[in-house]
Amino acid sequence: MNEDLVLMLGSQALKTTATLAAPMLLGALVTGLIVSVFQAITQINEATLTFIPKMIVIGVMLLMFGSWMLDTMKNYTVNLMENVHTYVRE
Protein backbone atom coordinates (compact mmCIF):
# COMPACT_ATOMS: atom_id res chain seq x y z
CA MET A 1 0.00 0.00 0.00
CA ASN A 2 1.53 3.29 -1.05
CA GLU A 3 0.74 6.80 0.13
CA ASP A 4 -1.36 7.67 -2.94
CA LEU A 5 -3.68 4.72 -2.34
CA VAL A 6 -4.07 5.59 1.35
CA LEU A 7 -4.83 9.23 0.47
CA MET A 8 -7.35 8.16 -2.18
CA LEU A 9 -9.13 5.79 0.22
CA GLY A 10 -9.15 8.44 2.94
CA SER A 11 -10.55 11.09 0.62
CA GLN A 12 -13.28 8.72 -0.59
CA ALA A 13 -14.21 7.93 3.01
CA LEU A 14 -14.37 11.64 3.92
CA LYS A 15 -16.43 12.49 0.82
CA THR A 16 -18.87 9.67 1.56
CA THR A 17 -19.17 10.75 5.19
CA ALA A 18 -19.79 14.38 4.23
CA THR A 19 -22.35 13.34 1.63
CA LEU A 20 -24.21 11.17 4.13
CA ALA A 21 -24.19 13.80 6.89
CA ALA A 22 -25.13 16.79 4.71
CA PRO A 23 -28.94 16.41 4.61
CA MET A 24 -29.32 16.12 8.38
CA LEU A 25 -26.78 18.84 9.13
CA LEU A 26 -28.37 21.27 6.68
CA GLY A 27 -31.82 20.53 8.08
CA ALA A 28 -30.59 21.18 11.62
CA LEU A 29 -28.83 24.35 10.49
CA VAL A 30 -31.93 25.78 8.80
CA THR A 31 -34.12 24.82 11.76
CA GLY A 32 -31.72 26.43 14.21
CA LEU A 33 -31.64 29.59 12.12
CA ILE A 34 -35.44 29.78 11.96
CA VAL A 35 -35.82 29.20 15.70
CA SER A 36 -33.10 31.78 16.44
CA VAL A 37 -34.89 34.38 14.32
CA PHE A 38 -38.14 33.53 16.12
CA GLN A 39 -36.39 33.93 19.48
CA ALA A 40 -34.94 37.28 18.42
CA ILE A 41 -38.33 38.54 17.25
CA THR A 42 -40.21 37.43 20.37
CA GLN A 43 -37.28 38.09 22.76
CA ILE A 44 -37.57 34.60 24.23
CA ASN A 45 -34.18 33.79 25.72
CA GLU A 46 -34.33 30.02 26.16
CA ALA A 47 -31.33 27.97 25.03
CA THR A 48 -33.18 24.64 25.01
CA LEU A 49 -35.96 25.84 22.69
CA THR A 50 -34.13 24.68 19.54
CA PHE A 51 -33.57 21.11 20.73
CA ILE A 52 -36.98 19.57 19.99
CA PRO A 53 -37.48 21.19 16.53
CA LYS A 54 -33.98 20.11 15.49
CA MET A 55 -34.61 16.53 16.63
CA ILE A 56 -37.90 16.44 14.72
CA VAL A 57 -36.27 17.79 11.56
CA ILE A 58 -33.38 15.33 11.83
CA GLY A 59 -35.88 12.47 12.20
CA VAL A 60 -37.85 13.68 9.16
CA MET A 61 -34.65 14.04 7.14
CA LEU A 62 -33.63 10.54 8.15
CA LEU A 63 -37.01 9.21 7.00
CA MET A 64 -36.78 11.14 3.73
CA PHE A 65 -33.14 10.41 2.88
CA GLY A 66 -32.56 7.19 4.82
CA SER A 67 -32.88 4.84 1.85
CA TRP A 68 -30.59 7.02 -0.25
CA MET A 69 -28.06 7.18 2.58
CA LEU A 70 -28.17 3.42 3.03
CA ASP A 71 -27.73 2.88 -0.71
CA THR A 72 -24.77 5.28 -0.82
CA MET A 73 -23.11 3.54 2.12
CA LYS A 74 -23.79 0.12 0.60
CA ASN A 75 -22.24 1.15 -2.72
CA TYR A 76 -19.16 2.54 -0.97
CA THR A 77 -18.74 -0.61 1.12
CA VAL A 78 -19.29 -2.98 -1.81
CA ASN A 79 -16.79 -1.03 -3.92
CA LEU A 80 -14.27 -1.15 -1.09
CA MET A 81 -14.71 -4.88 -0.50
CA GLU A 82 -14.62 -5.76 -4.20
CA ASN A 83 -11.31 -3.96 -4.63
CA VAL A 84 -9.63 -4.96 -1.38
CA HIS A 85 -7.51 -7.56 -3.16
CA THR A 86 -6.00 -4.89 -5.43
CA TYR A 87 -5.43 -2.57 -2.47
CA VAL A 88 -3.50 -5.25 -0.58
CA ARG A 89 -1.29 -6.09 -3.56
CA GLU A 90 -0.21 -2.50 -4.14
Give domain limits for the chain: 3-89
Return the percent helix, strand and coil in the chain, to nearest 5.
90, 0, 10
pLDDT at 46: 85
Compute the average pLDDT of residues 54-68.
95
| pLDDT tier, 78 (very low <50, low <70, confident <90, very high otherwise) | very high
In percent, the amount of the chain with pLDDT more than 90 equals 74
Dihedral Cα 49, 54, 55, 60, nearest 10 deg: 140
Mean pLDDT (the chain) is 92
pLDDT score at 90:
62
CB–CB of 52/35 below 8 Å? no
Q: What is the reported pTM?
A: 0.78
